[in-house]
Amino acid sequence: MFDWPTFLFSLPLLGKALLITLQTSLLGNAIGFVIGTLIASMQLAKMPLLRRLGGSYIFIFRGVPLLVQLLVIYYLAPMFGLPNLPPMVAAIMALSLCSGAYIAEILRGGLLAIPSGQREAAHLLGMSRPAILLRVELPQAVQSTLPSLVNELVLLIKSSALVSVVGLADLTRVAQNLASSDYLFFQHYLVLAGIYCLINIPLTMFGRRLERHLERSLA
């Protein structure tokens, strides 16, 4: 049933693809975090326009399927007479824009939980608004929402399977290519699922441990 030689032969290829998957997910997550911070602070700003903008961003990027976002990013440039974006760039753009919306929602919750007295105190000390956000509020928000952020990373790694549609040679794409060359669909996809699980399950468990740890330290 399980063709071991084929499996062993595919391992180096899958290993290289795994690097691509991790690269896109992690970069997407990092840029998404920056976008998320920006959007979250926009949502908590006093100016109605900023709040409206932040809200719309989240509405759109959480409301449209990631696959459609990818297609838009990939197909849009040629529409304006530009060459197609390199798949890697399109992939990271889509992942970071989308995860930015989710991370913004997570961080907003964390920022709202910080007592306003802290901001006032920092303000009285003469800290600027961005400095307060970066040095006082963000570290606390990240700490209190770390389990959700880890969970978001897991979701992003899973979502990254979709970047195969723009031709990036990630795990899923390589497995697809292998399967269509030797028709061992089930085996290759099983291995593929196994690799994702090997990354995601430990990460999920780590997130759960963080959560328990957090609960205990708050109790």
Report the interface residues with other proteins, using CB under 8 A.
59-60, 62-68, 71-72, 75-76, 78-81, 154, 158-162, 164-165, 172, 175-176, 179, 184-187, 189-190, 192-193, 196-197, 199-201, 204
8-state DSSP, 80: T
- Least distance CB 69 / other proteins (angstroms): 8
Measure the CA–CA gap between 45 and 215, rounded to whole angstroms: 29
Q: Which is nearer to other proteins, 65 or 86 (CB)?
A: 65
Please tell me the distance from the alpha carbon of residue 45 to that of residue 137, in angstroms, as a whole number. Answer: 14
Half-sphere exposure for 2 (CA within 13 Å, toward CB): 6
- Cα separation, 53 vs 64, in Å, equals 17
Q: Which is nearer to other proteins, 4 or 80 (CB)?
A: 80
17/200 Cα distance (integer angstroms): 16
Residue number, 104 or 133, with CB nearest to other proteins: 104
Minimum distance from residue 31 beta carbon to other proteins (Å): 20
The minimum distance between CB 192 and other proteins, in angstroms, equals 5
Rounded to the nearest 5 degrees, what angle is found at the Cα of 138, between the Cα atoms of 137 and 140? 70
Give the separation between CA 104 and CA 45, rounded to whole angstroms: 13
Q: Which is nearer to other proteins, 11 or 197 (CB)?
A: 197
Identity of the residue, 52 or 62, whose beta carbon is nearer to other proteins in the bound complex: 62
Minimal distance, residue 42 CB to other proteins, in Å:
20
CB of 38 to other proteins, least distance (A): 22
